Amino acid sequence: MTKPLSHSHNTTVSGPRNLITDVAGLRVGNAQDEHIKTGVTTILCDRETTAAVQVLGGAPGARETDLLEPHNTVQSVNAIVLSGGSAFGLDSASGVQAYLRERKIGFEAAGHHIPIVPSAILFDMHNGGNKDWGRYPPYRELGYLAAENAAEDFELGSYGAGAGALVAGFKGGLGSASHRPPNGMTMGALVAVNAVGSVTVGDTKHFWAAPFEQDNEFGGIGYPSPMPANATDLRIKFRDNGTALPPAANTTIGTIATDAVLTKAQAKRLAIAAHDGYSRAIWPAHTPFDGDLIFALATGASGIEPSVEDFIDLCAAAASTMARAVARGVYHAAPRENDLSSCWSLSGE
């Protein structure tokens, strides 16, 4: 394996795309239904990729997460799926599996290819879309289409799993960011932001994630000065308009990825650290009505096994990169017909 470069505390920069696909070995595809206001995002792993997961929300919805625990046998995955649709959206992974199986990609057992596709869902059933889809929901086909669309470049905001997302005060969305420290490793984050809480300070447009922003990637307006008196007031989705909060009607789901060589246990620790990005960017996070979850992927493409000190920096970067991705998801949200909330870009200060 390649040895890591000498340790440095120099300021880091984003990758050329500022997307999770700056991590070599990953492609991302989106598919959405504008009428239903929902969608699917899939990450395809083009090489053997170590994976783990950490769930900290009180109302999670997921598939194939137990196998990601470090003590269990399967070491790598073929794809990760983020989907809208609440429990219905778990079917999206079946579409991605079908796409991979057709191409003979997956865990080989007794002459069969079994794609390993963990997935997580968010609740976007109450967002102005028409959910009268008939006998079967569209998620399996959306999953297949998202896999077909997988590429190094993809849309942010109201696309894929972010198509129907909402946060307190604004539309949510699909966000991504990347981070390239001088130690030769690359970090990337992808997240569908549908939190019960707020991503902005008080009733302003200033993102909680502002200290980590790079190159004005979500508006460049920093923190308000002075801080408003209501900066720490809780802003809860739907509370202001008197609508009762539906149980489990939220959730922020994401993936943190690196090209470093990690064990499953290290990937698990990276997923845990990335949850600090939620806490840095969303107030409050990890509530009983969020199913907050983060997958971790390590493609190993850099060939670098991080030292103890470099791994500490990698975990810190997981949090900051995820925080930036959260803000970018809301920043890039675009207006659609029958929206229940306004877009950040169209709202006043």
pLDDT in the model for residue 182: 86
pLDDT in the model for residue 12: 61
pLDDT in the model for residue 183: 86
Average pLDDT of 169-194? 96
Give the mean pLDDT of the chain: 93
pLDDT in the model for residue 11: 56
User: DSSP code of 299?
Assistant: -
Residue 234 confidence (pLDDT) above 70: yes
Average pLDDT of 185-214? 97
The torsion defined by the Cα of 321, 213, 19 and 237, in degrees rounded to 10, comes to 80
pLDDT in the model for residue 245: 57
pLDDT in the model for residue 244: 56
pLDDT in the model for residue 6: 34
Per DSSP, what are the bridge partners of residue 189?
A: 177, 256
pLDDT in the model for residue 65: 96
Of 2-16, 137-151, 232-246, the least confident: 2-16
242 vs 315, more confident:
315
CB-based contact 37:171 (threshold 8 Å): no
* Side-chain-facing half-sphere of 345: CA atoms under 13 Å: 15
Average pLDDT of 258-273? 98
First to last CA, the chain: 51
Per-residue pLDDT tens digits for 4-24: 333 333 456 899 999 999 999
pLDDT in the model for residue 238: 82
Task: List, in order of start, the domains of the chain with CATH numbers.
Answer: 20-336 (3.60.70.12)
Cα 341 to Cα 335: distance, rounded to the nearest angstrom: 9
Average pLDDT of 74-88? 96
CB-based contact 323:277 (threshold 8 Å): yes
Separation in Å, CA 94 to CA 38, 60, 97, 110, 254: 17, 19, 5, 21, 19
Residue 151 confidence (pLDDT) above 60: yes
Residue 246 confidence (pLDDT) above 70: no
Residue 3 confidence (pLDDT) above 80: no
pLDDT in the model for residue 73: 92
pLDDT band at 249 (very low <50, low <70, confident <90, very high): confident
Of 26-40, 105-119, 155-169, the least confident: 105-119
Phi, psi dihedral angles at 24 (to 5 degrees): -60, 135
